[in-house]
Chain A
């Protein structure tokens, strides 16, 4: 239920919406946001095509969004690979199928866990950062200042960030995949006494170009979702610190949910077309 409180002339009045009204309100807000995101995407595409790229600013964003995310995505990938090897050994040994540890680890990481975990982490770290930055700029009227000097905040702020998200996420994922498999190899050879060469040969046999492509293909979409949700939420902040905080939370929640839901459909799509 939606509860609206308002304080006026020393009197605090609260009013609760009836459920249908609240649900209606919620859906209308969702569609409004979707519409705004579509518009922002068009503006982004228009600026990208028609205007000179600001390579210096792009580089700065590649650094913020790509390079500075390396440590968290790599550590996560390493331990995910390691725990997968442990779990695989546990599950597969019941069937005497330990030889397939390499297959299971590499397929899980390359097709699913590498892209999704990287996207979730980047969505949290970078998405929150972008929303907080743009939100603060909005709240302190820096976006209005840009507009008042006849310049376009979408071109100056959204384009570099969104481009960086779309390009960096696949690159981070490639590295995460690689490190995840190394993690698996490490546990397989030192904990589970599987021969390293054998493990790697299984990995090579198990992975096809399709697996790699369907895993990486998804990350371009994830990058776009993270960037566009973060920029959109930042640019519509209305008031000060509280608004920025709420928008930042909203970004992390929405980006995570959108990544997980779209992952299902994208996976289905890729399976269908291959």
Chain B
């Protein structure tokens, strides 16, 4: 399968905190890659490196075969219009209402009419199971609703790849199910690939084509779910063991 991203020996420090210690990873077109890993293991940092919100200290990142490790800010713009990022905390603009939040990427990069934008916004909200909340501000939404609005904002401009930082954390099982189905559906119907950072096993089972496990800054496992089940790595086993007991 064709690669979208290739990471080679990526290192990232913050002061003396050595967060990523030599990551090698492929992200392939058309597949859903799930990244597991303990809290603080550097998952969010890794996603940010992919779109240039942070830059790696060492190693190389290739996007579509081009080296994008150290670009000026503007150099990342073409990538960022093709790759969406769902932030762990949602990162909705709290001075804008839900409609304005969702319309933001559309207004910035297309010249759609306001009617078309409104239709797109309603459509995106419906996909994540929300309706009639266009006029509300993020401050008056529940945590789960915020997460879903942020998700709607990430999918609204139909990118090639979506980076999800914990898309289902804190959501009820039914909504989680809706979101998992949505991720799968977008992959099938629109060929949108996904990188999903999660701790949710249902999401892993439903969405993952491949699984990567990040531990103490290293990728200790990359493979299919079946291979992950067979893995002898104690921390990775813990994810699946808990499941077997049920």
The answer on a CB contact under 8 Å between B104 and A140 is: no
Q: A80-104 toward B: CB 8 Å interface, digit per residue (1/0)? A: 0000000000000000000000000
Q: Which of A245-261 contact B (CB under 8 A)?
A: none
Contacts A140-B91, A141-B91, A142-B93 given; does A148 touch B81 at CB 8 Å:
no
Distance, CA A151 to CA B109, complexed state (A): 9
The answer on a CB contact under 8 Å between B53 and A148 is: yes
Distance, CA A199 to CA B94, complexed state (A): 52
For residue B108, CB closer than 8 A to chain A, the reply is yes
B126 to chain A minimum Cβ distance, whole angstroms, is 21
The answer on a CB contact under 8 Å between A142 and B94 is: yes
Contacts of B48 in A (CB 8 A): 144
Q: Interface size (A, Cβ < 8 Å)? A: 14
The answer on a CB contact under 8 Å between B80 and A149 is: yes
A211 to chain B minimum Cβ distance, whole angstroms, is 41
The answer on a CB contact under 8 Å between B91 and A150 is: no
The answer on a CB contact under 8 Å between A148 and B51 is: yes
The answer on a CB contact under 8 Å between A148 and B108 is: no
B120 to chain A minimum Cβ distance, whole angstroms, is 15
Contacts of B81 in A (CB 8 A): 150
Chain B residue nearest to A144 in the complex (CB): B53
Distance, CA A152 to CA B104, complexed state (A): 12
Distance, CA A247 to CA B211, complexed state (A): 41
Q: Which of A105-162 contact B (CB under 8 A)?
A: 133, 137, 140-142, 144-152
The answer on a CB contact under 8 Å between B91 and A145 is: yes
For residue B77, CB closer than 8 A to chain A, the reply is yes
Contacts of B85 in A (CB 8 A): 145, 148
Chain A residue nearest to B74 in the complex (CB): A152
Q: Which of A133, A144, A151, A152 contacts B91 (CB 8 A)?
A: A144
Chain B residue nearest to A147 in the complex (CB): B53
Contacts of B91 in A (CB 8 A): 140-142, 144-145
Distance, CA A150 to CA B71, complexed state (A): 14
Distance, CA A146 to CA B109, complexed state (A): 12
Q: Which of B59-101 contact A (CB under 8 A)?
A: 73, 76-78, 80-81, 84-85, 87, 89, 91-95
Contacts of B95 in A (CB 8 A): 133
The answer on a CB contact under 8 Å between B108 and A149 is: yes
For residue B40, CB closer than 8 A to chain A, the reply is no
A139 to chain B minimum Cβ distance, whole angstroms, is 10
Distance, CA A149 to CA B105, complexed state (A): 6
The answer on a CB contact under 8 Å between B94 and A150 is: no
Contacts A142-B93, A144-B53 given; does A149 touch B87 at CB 8 Å:
no
Contacts of A146 in B (CB 8 A): 93
Distance, CA A162 to CA B81, complexed state (A): 28
Q: Which of A133, A140, A141, A148 contacts B80 (CB 8 A)?
A: A148
The answer on a CB contact under 8 Å between B109 and A150 is: yes
The answer on a CB contact under 8 Å between A145 and B93 is: yes
Contacts of A148 in B (CB 8 A): 51, 53, 80, 84-85, 87
Distance, CA A142 to CA B109, complexed state (A): 18
B78 to chain A minimum Cβ distance, whole angstroms, is 8
Q: Which of A142, A145, A147, A151 has the largest number of chain B CB atoms within 10 A? A: A145
Query: Could you list 18 A-B pairs, sorted by A, with CB under 8 Å?
Result: A140-B94, A141-B87, A141-B89, A142-B91, A144-B53, A144-B87, A145-B91, A147-B76, A147-B80, A148-B53, A148-B87, A149-B84, A149-B105, A149-B108, A150-B108, A150-B109, A151-B105, A151-B108
Chain A to chain B: the 7 pairs with minimum beta-carbon distance, closest first: A145-B91, A150-B80, A141-B91, A150-B77, A148-B85, A149-B105, A150-B81
Known: A144-B87, A150-B81. 6 other contacts (CB 8 A): A140-B89, A140-B94, A141-B87, A141-B89, A148-B85, A151-B108
Chain B residues with CB under 8 Å of chain A are: 48, 51, 53, 73, 76-78, 80-81, 84-85, 87, 89, 91-95, 104-105, 108-109
